[in-house]
């Protein structure tokens, strides 16, 4: 991984502090990012305080030879995560019939493998939020996670208009900011540490997507997910007949930004070809965000 691709501004997932960075700070941050990129290009992925159970679950679920019993064994190795998965399976989002499950295997079968991965990621990030060594990024970490839930919820709704699997879209939306997460966590405990990890988030735009792609590749996620994360800000990608996961993610990120605006919302989709590929006009966007607000609340309840 040499130079990162250049994307439009806005590809970061957290809000920077209102503080001007000095040339020395920017130079230090750039050097830091280059070193991280070099590490990941060598296959060295070291996300501080991120429970290894997430990677083990991903590896098990991505392996076509893994049996259902083996998945249960891997998940069951972390009792608190297993309890969270069972709790989610019995939530209103997945138990419309009101029939509770008590066995982990039944819970996994009910919610599906992509939601198992989503819950594992949620569990891991919540663990990170309580780590003393990451206190300096507690607020942006929370903001990143809240935005990830918003993007994943919208991605699922947008995918319904396409041939993209909705659960894959949801998981991709949840992981779209994994590069930012990685950069922030490494900066927070860097040696020597970055003076203020929150003060140079404006530099993440061209780096977080490419680093995020490399992390997902190292963890064995499907190529379409890796590519979508890498190209999430490629607004000028050519129109295609069939929408892809990348188109779904691009649209969802724009809609997530619009959701933060007061009504009536303005949708600036000029030059973003993914909207035409997906087939979303202004009216469709408004309707999608109305549904998204309800969906986000359900997802937050399920993943917390």
pLDDT at residue number 5: 34
Cis bond before residue 236 (omega within 30° of 0): no
Q: Please, is 11 exposed, middle or buried when counting C-beta atoms within 10 Å of its C-beta (0-12, 13-18, 19+)? A: buried
The region of weakest confidence among 54-63, 82-91, 167-176, 233-242 is: 233-242
CB atoms within 10 A of CB 56: 15
What is the structure's pLDDT at 12? 42
Q: What is the pTM of this model?
A: 0.85
Could you give the domains of the chain?
A: 1-46+134-304 (1.10.3210.10), 50-130 (no CATH)
For 125-165, how does the pLDDT look when each residue is reduced to its tens digit (9 = 90+)? 888 888 888 888 888 888 888 999 999 999 999 999 999 99
Kindly give, in sequence order, each residue whose CB lies less than 8 Å from that of residue 270, ignoring residues fewer than 6 positions away. none
d(CA 37, CA 193): 17
Give the residue-averaged pLDDT of 59-70.
88
Residue 302 has pLDDT above 60, yes or no: yes
Q: What is the DSSP letter of 198?
A: G
Q: pLDDT band at residue 7, thresholds of 50, 70 and 90?
A: very low
| Span 213-230, pLDDT tens digits | 999 988 889 999 999 999
Report the distance separating Cα 62 and Cα 219, nearest Å: 10
Closest CA to 224 of 167, 172, 279: 172
Q: How far apart are the first and last CA of the chain?
A: 35
């Amino acid at each position: 991984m040499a130079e990162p691709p250049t994307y439009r501004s806005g590809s970061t997932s957290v809000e920077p502090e209102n503080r001007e960075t000095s040339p020395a700070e920017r130079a230090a941050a750039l050097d830091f990012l280059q070193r991280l990129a070099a590490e990941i290009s060598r296959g060295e992925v070291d996300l501080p305080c991120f429970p290894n159970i997430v990677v083990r679950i991903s590896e098990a679920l991505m392996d076509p030879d893994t049996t259902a019993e083996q998945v249960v064994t891997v998940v069951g190795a972390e009792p608190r995560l297993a309890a969270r998965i069972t709790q989610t399976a019995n939530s209103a989002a997945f138990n419309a019939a009101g029939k509770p499950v008590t066995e982990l295997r039944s819970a996994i079968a009910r919610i599906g493998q992509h939601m198992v991965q989503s819950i594992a990621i949620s569990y891991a990030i919540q663990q990170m939020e309580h780590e003393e060594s990451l206190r300096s990024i507690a607020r942006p970490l929370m903001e990143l996670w809240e935005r990830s839930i918003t993007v994943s919820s919208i991605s699922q709704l947008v995918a319904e208009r396409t041939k993209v699997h909705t659960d894959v879209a949801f998981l991709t939306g949840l992981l779209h900011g994994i590069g930012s997460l990685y950069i922030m966590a490494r900066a927070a405990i860097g040696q020597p540490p970055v003076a203020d990890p929150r003060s140079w988030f404006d530099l993440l735009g061209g780096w977080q997507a490419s680093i995020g792609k490399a992390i997902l590749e190292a963890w064995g996620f499907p190529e379409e997910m890796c590519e979508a994360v890498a190209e999430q800000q490629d607004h000028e990608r050519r129109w295609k007949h069939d929408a892809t996961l990348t188109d779904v993610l691009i649209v969802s990120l724009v809609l997530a930004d619009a959701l933060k605006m007061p009504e009536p919302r303005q949708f600036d989709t000029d030059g973003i070809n993914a909207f035409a590929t997906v087939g979303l006009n202004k009216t469709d966007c408004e309707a999608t965000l109305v549904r998204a607000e309800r969906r986000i609340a359900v997802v937050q309840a399920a993943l917390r």
